[in-house]
Structure 1
Amino acid sequence: MSETIVKVVVCSGTACYVMGGSELLLLDDHIPARWKGRVELEGSPCLGYCKDKSNGKAPFAMVDGELIPQATIPEILRKIGEKLGDR
């Protein structure tokens, strides 16, 4: 049985970048050792969610396809833990 891989996409479009998305791109530095190799992190030029106010506010990130508005490193880590079954 293969290990679960959680995919994290961080928006680095202008609005998200200036609202804190630049910090989110450092997420890899905060991933616990026990999760190394189980989290795939990538930046996206723009996810487009800021165009619709019903999605919430920037910065945006996605964890396994689940949108996280006003994303922070602790919130993303919490969501990764949920997905990995390791809170």
Structure 2
Amino acid sequence: MTSPVALALCSAFLFAVAVQLHNLGLRHIDSRRGTLISICSSAALYWMLSPWFLETWYWFTTGAALFATIGLFRPFLSANFAMAGIRFLGPT
């Protein structure tokens, strides 16, 4: 059994690494292209891992359509705001 504290520390560390990598990437391209790369790479990773973690009946639940609809807008907004924040404020 994994400790919740260990999971929280691992999550915080990986989040900090991601912000640092975004900051390095934003030195060379603008935030819109950085957002596009981030969303596309995350989506590709999730689609590649989904056969091992999702069962087919999950797609036919009532919540699947809701999550798919929200998933069209939320990544764009939050990723754009995150990239713009990192670009203007830095990775602190």
TMscore range, shorter length: under 0.3
**Structure with greater proportional helix content:** 2
Q: TM-score, normalised by structure 2?
A: 0.27
Q: Bigger radius of gyration, 1 or 2?
A: 2
Q: TM-score, normalised by structure 1?
A: 0.28
RCO comparison, higher one (Cα < 8 Å, 6+): 2
**Structure with greater proportional strand content:** 1
